[in-house]
């Protein structure tokens, strides 16, 4: 069915297509029979798929990566498509409109995307309000939701801890785990926070907030695929030192190597993070390396170029406890979740 609809959807700009498809999804799940139809058609359950990770019971290990539903507007509909968990955000304390449009580009020849969205979101208060409503409604009572947190564009790096802390405190009652995003290439100087000293300071502060609660929440660090081996070694040391639950590997890449899309088109698009099929090999390499460095106890969520049951299995074989989809979901459609679950069950 998606193979028929995709050429029509791709006639629209990526952001227009997203709005249209999410409106249609929300409309279908607004009817009980519609939600049940989607769950029947796209859902896949098996006792072996249930994973307890970080003290959280995931109905299955395939999640939706952050960025797809930044403001938690479509969680109920997306959960009906078979995902075991959904990560919302990246959220910032104050709403921001993000980068000027156009800022999201398809590379069909590579089954990839380039984005420079710039943490566009409606802000922390709006997200908290929606998540509170979700948690109070029966259809979403068992949803596993991650909260991906960031800093506002105009917040200087030496004040970034305050932004992350605000997000952490406000979201704490409403999410099952946290992701600290310091690896997006689309917020100026954000990746500088991946350096050892500022990152250790940030994570220690969040952990101090975490341990002030009777029941702690898992905190993961999302890392870039463009880090050197020495930087990955530093990340492993920091994760161990700050007692983080683990990492998400990886975010989008600034590399443009080995693309089928013409250089002229790539240059016309300009800056942004690349996701999709070309990222897969590097993401798997990072997951494999970090599993070796962190040992078996740390949690790794693998994301990057997963577009089939085979690439999902490769990521899990490399050491990922859980996996996430984004660009592959756009190119392959919602049936991808079911195909992966059937393969790994």
* CA–CA distances in Å: residue 24 to residues 74, 114, 185, 224, 331: 11, 25, 31, 33, 18
Name the strand (E) or helix (H) holding 206.
Answer: helix 196-210
Which residue among the candidates 79, 99, 183, 184 is catalytic per the annotation? 184
Q: Estimate the crossing angle of helix 14-29 against helix 2-9, to 10 degrees.
A: 130
| 184 counts as catalytic | yes
DSSP per position, 1-52? -HHHHHHHHTTS-HHHHHHHHHHHHHHHHTSHHHHHHHHHHH----GGG-EE
DSSP letter for each residue of 127-183: HHHHHHHHHTSGGGTT--EEEEE---TTS-GGGHHHHHHHHHHHHTTT-SEEEEE--
- Positions annotated as catalytic residues are 184
């Amino acid at each position: 069915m998606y193979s028929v609809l995709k050429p029509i959807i791709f006639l629209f700009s990526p952001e227009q297509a997203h709005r249209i498809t999410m409106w249609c999804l929300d409309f279908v799940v607004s009817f009980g029979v519609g939600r049940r139809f989607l769950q029947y058609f796209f859902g896949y359950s098996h006792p072996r798929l249930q994973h307890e990770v970080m003290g959280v019971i995931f109905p299955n290990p395939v999640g939706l990566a952050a960025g797809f539903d930044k403001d938690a507007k479509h969680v109920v509909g997306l959960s009906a498509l078979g995902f075991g968990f959904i990560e919302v955000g990246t959220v910032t304390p104050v709403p921001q409109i993000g980068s000027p449009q156009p800022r999201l580009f398809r590379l069909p020849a590579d089954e990839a995307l380039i984005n420079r969205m710039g943490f566009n979101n409606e802000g922390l208060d709006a997200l908290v309000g929606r998540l509170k409503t979700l948690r109070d409604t029966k259809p979403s009572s068992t949803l596993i939701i991650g909260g991906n947190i960031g800093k506002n564009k105009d917040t200087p790096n030496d004040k970034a801890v305050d932004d992350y802390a605000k997000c952490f405190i406000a979201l704490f009652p409403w999410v099952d785990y946290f992701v600290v995003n310091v690896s997006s290439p689309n917020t100026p100087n954000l990746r500088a926070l991946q350096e050892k000293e500022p990152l250790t300071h940030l994570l220690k502060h969040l952990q101090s907030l975490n341990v002030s609660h009777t029941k702690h929440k898992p905190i993961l660090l999302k890392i870039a695929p463009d880090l050197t081996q020495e930087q990955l070694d530093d990340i492993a040391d920091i994760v161990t030192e700050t007692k983080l639950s683990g990492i998400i590997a990886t975010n989008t890449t600034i590399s443009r190597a080995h693309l089928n899309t013409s250089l002229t088109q790539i240059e016309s698009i300009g800056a942004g993070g690349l996701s999709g099929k070309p990222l897969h090999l590097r993401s798997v390499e990072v997951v494999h390396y970090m599993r070796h460095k962190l040992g078996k106890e740390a949690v790794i969520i693998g994301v990057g170029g997963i577009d089939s049951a085979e690439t999902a299995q490769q990521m899990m074989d490399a050491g990922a406890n859980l996996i996430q989809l984004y660009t592959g979901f756009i190119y392959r459609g919602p049936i991808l979740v079911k195909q992966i679950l059937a393969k790994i069950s």
